[in-house]
Amino acid sequence: MRKSKIIGAGHYLPERIMTNDDLSKMMNTNHDWIVERTGIEKRRWFVPGRDSVTSMALEASKMAIDNAGIETAEIDFIIFATITPDYFIPGNGVLLQRELGLQGVGALDIRNACSGFVYALSIADQYIKSGMYRTILVVGAEIQSSALDKSDEGRSSAVIFADGAGAVVVRANLDSDSGILSTHLHADGDFAEELYVKDPGSSREVRISQEMIDAGGFNLYMNGNAVFKHAIVRFYEVIMEALEANQMAVSQLDLLIPHQANLRISQYIQQKLGLSDHQVYNNITEYGNTTAATIPIAISEAVAGGRVKDGDIVCLAAFGSGFAWGSALIKW
């Protein structure tokens, strides 16, 4: 049976490091307060004039393609997950396509925020299983720092979100049983306004006005308590759903790569599943929450660091704005 296999991964992180102490100079916060609530010690913010969502995605993609051992021309479709595109329109997929010299290759944009990469990977899996495409580039890239309210009013979210890009090359595998075993996607729009950026929106009389700017509609709003409450439930559910769909037990899981939303959430899920530290990959301490980019960045680091080996059972899981959540179970 045709399976979809991740054959290469790459990532890019801006050079600009913002520590908790740096943030304490912008707003009323401190290192201990941030670490206690999020586990984050530092994060990367883009360098204006040097970094863009497209340029970061390009570097991550080139690394993924190189690690896959293929030529760029072998890519026959691009799926790009981001909620912070360089332009309002068009999406970032075509901008990356242009930079890679893949004119004519289809490019699809996904706007599922923190769950965007898992959604994108699931779509790639279906395209490959159907035989429509053979080799797909799946990307998650974000610049969140420019949308954050860096005042005292916005500190609860400003200390969390950050910038970066990750990418994987997914290819049809007919020679072995390794590859994506299953994906599972869910959403509940009842909670859409618990984590969102209100403006700009097409349903306004004008898309941009001084009144909107003054009201803070362009800044990220997050009801942290609501997000945490739902995340710890949905993360566990969707991980178990993936294992049960493949008739596997938690004990068979070699590595869990969760979306890097909050270290407290990851640790709660780890404890509930009874996993050791070696069975869960976390890098939020160093990079913060890069939304759609967190999982592909973590995949790239985990593979490079020897945390993933051939034959390992790896679970990806994400939860975020929408609310939307999902998982993917992979035999590496």
In the set 67, 219, 262, 289, the catalytic residue is: 289
Nearest-5° Cα angle at 303, 301 to 307: 95
Nearest one of 60, 101, 63, 50 to 80, comparing CA atoms: 60
161: tokens are: 């979100």
In the set 173, 259, 262, 282, the catalytic residue is: 259
Known catalytic residue: 289? yes
Nearest one of 101, 222, 96 to 154, comparing CA atoms: 222
Neighbouring-strand partners of residue 17: 44
Q: Measured in Å, how far apart are the chain's first and last C-alpha atoms?
A: 16
Helix (H, G, I), strand (E, B) or coil at 125: helix
Nearest-5° Cα angle at 274, 231 to 186: 30
In the set 114, 184, 262, 315, the catalytic residue is: 114
Residue 103 neighbours by CB under 8 Å, 6+ apart: 97
Known catalytic residue: 259? yes
Question: Annotated active-site positions, please?
Answer: 114, 259, 289
